[in-house]
Amino acid sequence: MRDIVTLACERCKNRNYTTTKNKRKTPDKLGFKKYCPSCMTHTLHKETK
């Protein structure tokens, strides 16, 4: 039931992280504030395809 999703930085669009989510309980896109090595800051990372 859990699917693997990729998280991309909002500022530089690099795909830095992967995580899993339950598609039934959270149908909308995920967003986490994580460290981006390219930007060297904590930025919002949103779910991509």
pLDDT one-digit tens code per residue, 1-49? 899 999 999 999 999 999 999 999 999 999 999 999 999 999 999 999 8
pLDDT value at residue 1: 84
At 30 the pLDDT is 94
pLDDT of residue 49: 81
Long-range Cβ pairs for the range 36-45 (8 Å, 24+):
36/9, 36/11, 36/12, 38/9, 38/12, 38/14, 39/9, 39/11, 39/12, 43/9, 43/10, 43/11, 44/9, 44/10, 45/7, 45/8, 45/9, 45/10, 45/16, 45/17
Q: 2.20.28.120, 2.130.10.10, 3.50.50.60, 3.40.50.720: which CATH number matches 2-48?
A: 2.20.28.120
Domain spans, the chain = 2-48
